[in-house]
Each structure stands twice: as C-alpha cells, then as structure tokens.
Amino acid sequence: MDYDQEHFVSFETIQPISEITLPPLSQVNPRFHTDIRKMFDMMREHQCHVTETTKGTFHVLFPPGSTSQELYPKTTDVRHCVMLPDGLELRLIDRQGTYSLSIVIG
C-alpha cells in the first residue's frame, strides 16, 4: 500500500463522496455553535450545500468531484481526508456512525 508519509493518507483508498449527515447542534457544546455555523458558511462558499433537517441534523451535499481518503494510522475512530474540487480540505471523523467535520487550515 502506498502512503503519503506527511499526511498518512492511503492512495489506494480514494473514494468519491457526495453527502453526509451531521448530528444536531443539541448534541454539541453550545460554545461551539457559532464556530460550526461559520464552518457551514465557509463550506457553502466552496459549493457545498448544507441544510438543517426537520430532525435538527445537518445534511451536507459535497460538490461533484469531491473525494475521501481514509487516514492512517488507523485509530478507534475512522478518519477521512475529504478534498473538495477547489482544494478545500476537510477532516471527517466517523465515530460508529456519528460524524464530525472540520476544515483543515494551513
């Protein structure tokens, strides 16, 4: 298996990604709500569609051409590098079906 040693990304696991559902803000510490909304605004600037569902969850549609790669070394949570076609890099963490998302800066 080939790896990018700097980022611990497996080149053999590149997958297209089109959408995810994130948990409602009620499951997140209120001090992070403003930051999460800012992240959603930034994602919208990069052609993602983020909508709040009637259940309070957030449905994220990624633009066509977005990819996901599993990050190594493996941990108890499944971690992915999500790359949007315009170069915005996100981290997606799957905690047994509950996702968290962050923007990579730098």
Q: If you average pLDDT over residues 32-51, what whole number do you get?
A: 96
In this structure, the number of other CB atoms found within 10 A of the CB of residue 69 comes to 21
What's residue 11's pLDDT? Answer: 57
Q: If you average pLDDT over residues 54-80, what whole number do you get?
A: 92
Q: Report whether pLDDT(89) > 90.
A: yes
Question: Is it true that the peptide bond before 23 is cis, omega within 30 degrees of 0?
Answer: no
Residue 1's SS3 state is coil
Half-sphere exposure of 96 (CA within 13 A, CB side): 1
Task: Dump pLDDT digits (tens) for 15-29.
Answer: 999 999 999 999 999
Question: Is it true that the peptide bond before 63 is cis, omega within 30 degrees of 0?
Answer: no
Phi, psi at 29, each rounded to 5°: -55, 130
What's residue 44's pLDDT? Answer: 97
